[in-house]
Amino acid sequence: MSPSAAEADGRRTGARATPSQDAIQDTDQNTDQNKESRTMAAVGEIHHVAVNVTDMEASLRFYRDGLGLRKTLEMPVGNPTTWRTMALPEGTTGKSVFLQGPTRIGQLELLQWDLPVPRDSRPKRAGDPGPCVLSFSISHAEIHEVYQRLQDMGVHCYTEPTTNTLTNYGPVTLFFCDDPDGNQVEVIALPTQEEVRAFRAATMKPDPAGTD
């Protein structure tokens, strides 16, 4: 799925450790290898973890009210592009809520689908309680390269990189694939914060009551 408006612009704080001499030497010895590796397209950090839930309000009480996470985005999910990119039954709908911690690094997405909940299902899929998707962010310039590399490795990808416009957020480009154990992995290229703000300004209807 996808993201919140307040993205990973947070910064960790704290003292920086001084590297040891061995570490410096190891770094010097691997300089050429590191330079070479930086030229290969690669995904970034985990963008968000999606967790299927059976009761959104009960889950919000736990994660938001109990653990203290901050809700940053709420949106409906389920359109023809979502059905195709996630390999969902046509007509599937649901709702999504994103939460973040104080550092704004990494996100938790709660998903409640209108699908029946299987009693026993491995690996996790839409409708199963628990984690179902690992999502990795990537640049728009590199998503097609990574997709092709996975294809060449024989990885099962549900679709080619596809653009999907998300309510209250904007267009994203993404594809889903299976890891060796069948777990769903998403690779996603996101809009900038400025693009998100522009999309919301262009699409959100004014509040008739005049409230936020």
Output the pLDDT for position 128: 80
Sign of the alpha-carbon dihedral angle for 143, 145, 146, 152: positive
φ and ψ at residue 125, rounded to 5 degrees: -140, 175
pLDDT tier at 8, thresholds 50, 70, 90:
very low
Q: Is the pLDDT assigned to residue 189 strictly greater than 90?
A: yes
pLDDT score at 122:
66
Average pLDDT over residues 89-105: 91
The set of residues, in sequence order, having a beta carbon less than 8 Å from that of 85 and lying 6+ positions away, is 158, 159, 162, 164, 174, 175, 176
Structure tokens at 35: 């330079």
Q: Sign of torsion, CA 53 55 57 59?
A: negative
Separation in Å, CA 154 to CA 2, 149, 157, 197: 25, 9, 9, 38
CB hemisphere CA count around 178 (13 angstroms)? 12
Higher pLDDT, 1 or 85: 85
Distance CA 134, CA 76 (A): 20
Q: For residue 207, name the pLDDT band (cuts at 50, 70, 90).
A: low
| DSSP β-bridge partners for residue 185 | 134, 177
Q: Does residue 9 carry a pLDDT above 60?
A: no
Residue 185 φ then ψ, to 5°: -125, 135
Q: What is the pLDDT of residues 28-73, one digit of tens each?
A: 555 555 655 568 999 988 889 888 888 999 999 998 998 889 999 9
Looking at the predicted structure, is the pLDDT value of residue 210 above 80?
no
pLDDT for the residue 19? 44
Which of 193, 175, 195, 194 has the alpha carbon at shortest distance from 185?
Answer: 175
Do 76 and 94 contact (CB within 8 A), yes or no?
A: yes
| Euclidean distance between CA atoms 186 and 191, whole angstroms | 16
